[in-house]
Structure formats: structure tokens, C-alpha cells
Amino acid sequence: MKEETGTSKFQYPLLKNAPIIEALLDIQVQLPERKTLDDLHIVFDKIKEQFPIEKKRYRFSGSFQLKVDEKETKSLAYNTLADGFLFYSENKKKVFQSRLNGFTFNKHKPYYSWSTLFKEAPTLWKIYKEVAEPIAIKRIALRYINKIPLKIPFTPSNYFTTLPYLASGLDYDINNLFSQISITNNKIGALANITEGIETNGSYTAQFLFDIITVE
């Protein structure tokens, strides 16, 4: 197995069939008030050879009201607002998001290495930055979504070290799992949200979800 090289002092083996179904770099920004969707669409002229498929991105919001003396929930408002564009590669394995509140580069399976993701993302960010002219960066996040197929029943602790633990001495099988934990890396001042869950596919197989997002 080859090992990935980079600036980190740690080196990890590259997996031939990595369980990462999606990796993304997200940068949330504040744009000048004068910027519009038409301004953001200029990005397409610069990247349409690599990302020839375009689609508007919509943000959904709504509110509801629930009163103790009423049986039904009432919907008060429901809004749909275009806030950017999605630009897809020909095979839709890569997505470049150009939004009024930020930039995202998504890489879908197959995922090869961080160096591959990092090689493309700065170029796209530079294009977005030149067009959108952000006046402030609010958040930078890196997210990896993993799905690991396993036969059931199984004991999660045989495969994973980051898990919720039950009291010892119990005789049990785990039928379902959902766990979310938020941590802070004190050395670099970054936050991370770790989500784990089980998706059953049938009587004998399941997908173990391991979703981690790091925010700085």
C-alpha cells in the first residue's frame, strides 16, 4: 500500500476502496450587499469545461404553530429562495457550489486522497473569490461522510474505537444506533462534530455511518 504524503507529520495508507462517499470543503463568507445571483453566475463562464452542468440552488425556510387546545399543527409561512448555483462535472462526481453565503467543493465516491481534493479546491476558491469579492470569511469546514458495510449482527467495538458504551456485564445485540458528539481540539482551536449511526439494508447487512465535520 502506498502512503499519502503531505505537510502532516502523520501518514496514513491509501485504501483501494475507501468508505468515504462524500468529502467536501465549505467556506462561509459575507459578500458585499451589491452582489447578486447574476454576479455569481459569472463563475460558470470560467469553469464550464470542467463543470458543464448547472443548476440553481434553493434555500427552504418555514415556520409552524402548535397550540395546546388545537389538534392540528398550522403552517404559518413557507419560503423558497434561490441563493446560488450548483455546477456539476460531467459524471456528477464533483460539485462546485457558488452561493451568496459561501463556496463549497464536493467530491463524491470514489475518493482517493486529501491531496487530490486539496489540489482542486484552492483553484475553484480563487475563481469564486475573484467573482464574489467576499469581505469576510465566517467559517471554514471540512467534512467526510463514510458508509462502511458490515454483516449483522456485529459488535461495533470490534471495528471502531469512537462509540457510545453501555455498562459492562450486559448480554445484548445492538439493533440500532445514533450518536452525535461535539469536541474541541485545544491545540489548533478547531471544533468537530462526529455523528455515527446504523442503516440496515436487510436481514444480514447494514451500513455503519461515520460522519465527521471539522470547523475552524
| pLDDT recorded at residue 68 | 58
Specify the amino acid at residue 61.
S
Ranges of residues in the chain with a pLDDT under 70 are 1-12, 61-78, 202-203
Torsion of CA 28, 118, 130, 213, to 10 degrees: 0
Q: Considering the entire predicted model, what is its pTM?
A: 0.80
Q: Cis link prior to 153 (omega < 30° from 0)? A: yes
Domain residue ranges of the chain, discontinuous segments joined by +: 20-60+80-215
| pLDDT recorded at residue 9 | 57
| pLDDT recorded at residue 2 | 40
